[in-house]
Amino acid sequence: MSKPNQLVVNLLNELHEKEFKITFESLSVLLDYLETKNDPSQAELQIINSIYQFIEKVKIMESALRVYTGNNSQRLLGSKLTNLYENSILNGTQKLFE
């Protein structure tokens, strides 16, 4: 595998690591709080908008990286053994939209 492809695969794997998921869970909690708040300020509305844009951009980037590596399935090259043992396929940021 070429160096750029390996870097992309590493980045895709990092998108599925626990630390990155914790970041998205924190964003989700903040988003839930701000969306249910009565009379949010302009700054809070901007934060809501920015969170949605960030999530969308990460999903678009993840998709583009998968196309770049030729790996359009949810399974990454480096995680096939992990998926075999855990019997699950990682879905990245889709957890926010479940």
Mean residue pLDDT of the chain comes to 78
What's the CA gap between 25 and 10, in Å, rounded?
A: 22
Query: Helix/strand/coil (H, E, C) string of the chain?
Result: CCHHHHHHHHHHHHCCCHHHHHHHHHHHHHHHHHHHCCCCCHHHHHHHHHHHHHHHHHHHHHHHHHHHHCCCCCCCHHHHHHHHHHCCCCCHHHHHHC
What's the CA gap between 50 and 42, in Å, rounded?
A: 12
Q: What is residue 98's predicted lDDT score, i.e. its pLDDT?
A: 46
Q: What is residue 33's predicted lDDT score, i.e. its pLDDT?
A: 94
pLDDT digits (tens, 9 = 90+) for 33-75: 999 999 999 999 999 999 999 999 998 998 888 888 886 555 5
> Higher-confidence residue: 22 or 91?
22
Band the pLDDT of 15: cuts 50, 70, 90. Answer: confident
